[in-house]
Structure 1
Amino acid sequence: MKVGIFGANGRMGRVLIEAVQNEQSAQLAAATVREDSPWVGMNVGELAGVGKLSIDCCAVDTLNPADIDVMIDFTLPAALAQNLAWCKENQKPVVIGTTGLSNEQMSVLKEAATQIPVVFAANYSVGINVMLALVRQAASALGSSADIEITEAHHRFKKDAPSGTAMAIGEAIADELDRDLSQCAVYGREGHEPERDQETIGFATVRGGDIVGEHTAMFADIGERLEITHKASSRLTFANGAVRAAKWLTSKPAGLYSMKDVLNLAD
């Protein structure tokens, strides 16, 4: 499997290079940076700290589609449209881990998936995707009486809040309880407020230091509390999951897939 990576100079881009290098059945074929980036022409391996490799960083418009089987994109939302346009034009599957997408950007992604295979997930950790299945079970059993709160913590550089993963956890719980998250989510509490509405789902966000990612879904009832927590200690966790998704995606027809499909997790 010949893999191309959009955004090689980003934090996740560099880790993805390492993950592809570690995967025996994958070969790093290309890695892009912005066309005006000072990283254009730099050796990809030296950029990622894995030793010199046979390819250099390039701009998207200089990619050779004949060299690539699948692309992986963990760039910023602003780059999504250009990256998807290249994948559509060249009929290349793409794994997308970009979070913080607007409704318009999600529409662009969904339209692309009518023409090419796309895996889109807020989090590519296998553990997080098992957690998404577990919170559905907890919601089904406890959601009618428990107060539900979601907390998440990430490094100081993360721009979107709550995290895409926290929102995915909330969506899974709300879907299981037949609630509309856009109507029942509470994103902050301050001052004197009325008694908590049991139908709401609360979110709390922490940003600091180099925290890779921590998420907890709490189901708090009178007399007992269930907490389901996932903690990531290395970005390789996410990168390895994305490479796994890329391997799975290369044999699939056009469509929008999730890590639940990749891992064959039941609803």
Structure 2
Amino acid sequence: MTESLRVLIHGANGRMGQALLRLAGEDAACEIVGAVSRHVDARMAAGIPRFAASELQGVPDFDVAIDFSQPEGFDAILDLCVARGKPLVSGTTGLSAHQFEALDAASVRIATMWASNFSLGVAVLHDLVERASRVLSGWDCDIIEIHHTRKLDAPSGTALTLGHSAGQGGATPHYASIRAGDIVGEHLVQFTSTGERIELIHRATNRDIFAAGALHVARALQARSAGRYRPIDLLD
């Protein structure tokens, strides 16, 4: 029988951290060995050991760490993974250029994956956008993203990374943002030429898809050698 994947969740009190705790807790193939947050009210909750961020060095052994924290907490979890030789999956946004450089350096020693969006559908969309950009040379490229009214950043992180994929294919993307109602997230990448248009669209209707995607890539990353991976690399 296959052993359970031992998962450390860093940033456990956030929206994504809570979703990860719930979904991983329902998965017989996962064992949550620790949940780390800035502060803890109890040492054990729902059968899961809790640790304050200041106690990170004392967490149990794990197979992979999943990080959805804040930029100020990212360095510590990256250093811990390097010290223990364990993979890191991170969706922490707002990282500095220096932190991305540190992530690249760590990837020489451990398997890492950072993404702005953990939807498996968005991972495929990135690949399609890059391929389309390479083929449709000279076409206009526009990225329209729609989110709920509480989302403050615009364009969204996912729109910007889709723009990076378009740029990798040679396109120059333009962005538009819409904030309306309680829309979880929609991203349209549009390629337009004289007399024709191609639209590539992803719509998210449930936030659990992001936590489920993070768990999926965590399982796949655990078996990989050192390197920096993208979600599309871990779909097989």
Secondary structure of 1:72 counterpart: strand
Give the CA deviation at 1:85: 1.6
One-letter amino acid of the counterpart of residue 53, structure 2: V
Q: Say which SS state the counterpart of residue 8 (structure 1) adopts.
A: coil
> Which of 206, 223, 248 is residue 178 of structure 2 equivalent to?
206
Q: Cα 1:40–1:207, aligned 2, differ >3 Å: closer, same or farther?
A: farther
Q: Could you say which residue in structure 2 is the equivalent of 1:108?
A: 102
Aligned in 2, Cα 1:214/1:96: closer, same or farther, shift over 3 Å? same
TM-score under structure 1 length normalisation: 0.79
Corresponding residue for 1:186?
none
Partner of 1:196: none
Separation in 1 of the partners of 2:149 and 2:35? 26
Where does the alignment leave 5 or more consecutive residues of structure 2 unmatched? none
**Residue 212 of structure 2 is aligned to residue 240 of structure 1:** yes
Any conservation in 1 of the 2:145–2:185 contact (CA below 8 Å)?
yes
Q: By how many angstroms is 1:244 displaced?
A: 0.9
- 1:28 positional shift: 1.2
Normalized against structure 2, the TM-score is what?
0.88
Counterpart of 2:48 (choices 39, 55, 66) is 55
How far residue 247 of structure 1 moved from its aligned partner, in angstroms, is 0.8
- Contact map agreement 2:51 2:59 (CA 8 A) in 1: no
Q: What CA RMSD, in Å, does the superposition of the two structures yield over aligned residues?
A: 2.0
**Partner residue of 1:125 out of 119, 123, 126:** 119
Matched to 2:142, the amino acid is: E
Gaps of 5+ in 1: 45-52, 180-199
Deviates more, 1:94-103 or 1:54-63: 54-63
Where does residue 185 of structure 1 map in the other structure? Answer: none
* Contact 1:33/1:40, CA 8 A, preserved across alignment: no
Structure 2 residue 167 is the aligned partner of structure 1 residue 174:
yes
Aligned residues: 231
Residue in structure 1 matched with residue 146 of structure 2 by the alignment:
153
Counterpart position of 1:30 = 34
> 2:76: which partner in 1?
82
> Cα–Cα, structure 1 residues 207 and 90, in superposed 2: closer, same or farther, change >3 Å?
farther
Distance 1:210 1:40, change over 3 A: farther
Structure number with greater Rg is 1
Kindly state the Cα deviation for residue 42 of structure 1 after the two structures are TM-superposed. 6.5
Q: CA deviation at 1:23?
A: 2.2
1:164 maps to a residue whose letter is G
Q: Percent identity?
A: 39
Q: Distance in 2 between matches of 1:159 and 1:43?
A: 34
In structure 2, the partner of 1:190 is none
Q: Report if the CA contact (8 A) 1:40-1:58 is conserved.
A: no
1:14: Cα distance to partner?
A: 0.5
Separation in structure 2 between the aligned mates of residue 136 and residue 8 of structure 1, nearest angstrom:
33
Shift of 1:257: 1.1
Tell me: CA distance 1:101–1:225, structure 2 relative to 1, closer, same or farther (3 Å): same
